[in-house]
Chains A and B, each alone.
Chain A
Amino acid sequence: MANRCAVIGIGQTQYAAKRDDLSIAGLVREAAARALEDAGLAWRDIDAVVIGKAPDMFEGVMMPELYLADALGAAGKPVMRVHTAGSVGGSTALVAASLVQAGIHDRVLTVAFEKQSESNAMWALTPKIPFQPPVVAGAGGYFTPHIRAYIARSGAPPDVGIRVALKDRQNALRNPYAHLRMEDATYEAIAESPMLWDPIRFHETCPSSDGACAMVLASEPAAANSPRPPAWLLGGAMRSEPIMFPGRDEVNPRAGRDCAADVYRQAGIADPRRDLDVAEVYVPFSWYEPMWMENLGFAKRNEGWKMVLEGATAFDGELPVNPSGGVLSSNPIGASGMIRFAEAAMQVRGQAGEHQVAGARKALGHAYGGGSQFFAMWIVGSEKP
């Protein structure tokens, strides 16, 4: 049987387009050191380190856990490096939790990062590989056709994406770590921004950020000594499906639905919209919020957009989504999934400061990657399971 696992420390870096004040090692240490401080621990107290990040081409360093071993106080310890595309921040946290749940280690440091300003992120995402047609559309170019398909199938009105972006941009102002802080965000400002991939406009898109996020995960006995209230892991799951097969539902992928059903079952959640207090969901382009509301079972098929227009996902709504400002506000690609997981934990620990959702006791962290094919999710709570 899996042992209990708690989040006892969380640390984030200031997210920015370019952190030229730190090396890669400095970036991960900034987050890790903050997590250790939050946990009331020293480097030597950590038993194992699990690092995650997206493709190494983002920094030009192959297998960076090797270079980062001493920066993370890991000499003499087990170190692993997870890479599951965009969901990696989440799956890294789950691999780290797995070590505690298996009873192998008491205190695991997990870090996810990207210092993508060091290389060329656009190139690293889609370099020219032979044998493929020269159709360069960018990341948005992959996802926007599915957004169009969602709009066509759901009949959603055209302003839904703008409203999601407005919400996340305003939420970011309450998050001191956020990269994009748009003080003058208004509906008009977003609606009038340049169209990138119709219907996604400039202000409805995620930035490219440098950043790292770290957590200290602990066993029940180790958590008993932690200085601040822990967030307890209530459920964690990963699911993958192939990117291309006939009849695949790319708008509402089954892997996402199955993953969500698994975490809800583990956490004893019957009605996620009712039972969850807050959700940090991986939304890189505005329209993915209503799509994920359906995929996560918060809304019925073709009705996710209604949650947005009703204000249900607003900071003061029934189920706030991305009170941190989300991926739309900060996007160090390898870290974004872990930031969602960490923000969920911060909420139930009462640590989210100005973007704290009052009384949050159960929160969902969600990450996805690839062609909407890799999903990692966890649910954390303020009470022991």
Chain B
Amino acid sequence: MSERVYGIKTPIRLEYTYIAGRARSAFLRALAERRLVGERCPQCRRVYLPPTGACPTCGLPTEERVEVSPKGTVTTFCVVNLPFYGQRIQPPYVCASVKLDGADTTLFHLIQDVPAGEVRMGMRVEAVWRPDEEMEASAETIRYFRPTGEPDAPIGLDGEGG
């Protein structure tokens, strides 16, 4: 007696060697030294962190390196409650957009060392790094951001473009 066959499973395994590129490589190497380095657009003068090598609104290469603070402000956030593929931490956990002092764009990262219900827009946070022996040129050198305890910073709720 044969069972109905309605599909086949084809395992696909492809290996890629990704190239970080000039801008991102510089950013990652600086992270290994616990430094956050963005790039400034020659035209609009804004600092992009992490840098991509190009200013997306001006379409120009960004080359000027600018070091920014490991402290910043939560501009918005969400509380992740559901489990899914690729997750490393038990939910619920908070992911937030953090605007570091000196940067004009935000980083998306984890917020920990604070109950999820207490995270708020405008909260001041700082980077928590891996210990010295685990430092390397990798996006994982920052483990998460935690509150600094400073008073909340004002954030513009009405984004105006450009």
Binding site for B on A (CB under 8 A): 20-21, 60, 118, 120, 122-123, 126-138, 140-141, 144-146, 148-149, 152-153, 194-198, 241-254
Contact = CB atoms under 8 A, between A and B. Distances in A.
Contacts of B76: 145-146, 148-149
Contact of A136 (B84, B104, B142, B162): B84
A249 B161 CA distance: 6
Contacts of A20: 6-7
Contacts of A118: 7
Contact of A131 (B7, B18, B86, B106): B18
A32 B38 CA distance: 49
Nearest to A127: B86
Contacts, number: 124
A197 B80 contact: yes
A24 B134 CA distance: 46
Contacts of B78: 137, 140-141, 144-145, 148, 197-198
B139 A132 contact: yes
Given A131-B28, A145-B97, 17 more contacts: A120-B85, A123-B86, A127-B86, A131-B138, A133-B109, A135-B110, A136-B88, A153-B158, A194-B82, A196-B82, A197-B81, A242-B56, A247-B161, A247-B162, A249-B158, A252-B159, A253-B161
Contacts of A127: 86
A249 B156 CA distance: 10
- State which size class the interface on B falls in: 35 or more
Contact of A242 (B57, B104, B110, B142): B57
B133 to A, nearest CB: 19
Interface of B: 6-7, 10, 12, 18, 20, 24, 28, 46, 48, 55-57, 75-82, 84-88, 95-97, 104-110, 121, 138-140, 142, 157-162
A136 B87 contact: yes
Given A141-B80, A153-B157, A246-B46, A134 B140 contact: yes
9 contacts: A118-B7, A130-B18, A134-B140, A136-B87, A141-B78, A194-B81, A196-B80, A247-B104, A249-B158
Contact of B80 (A120, A132, A138): A138
Nearest to A195: B81
Interface centre among A122, A137, A194 (most CB of B within 10 A): A137
A190 to B, nearest CB: 16
B6 to A, nearest CB: 5
B7 to A, nearest CB: 6
B105 A245 contact: yes
State the 3 A-B residue pairs at the shortest beta-carbon distance, nearest first. A242-B56, A249-B159, A246-B104
Interface hub of B28, B80, B88, B158 (most chain A Cβ within 10 A): B80
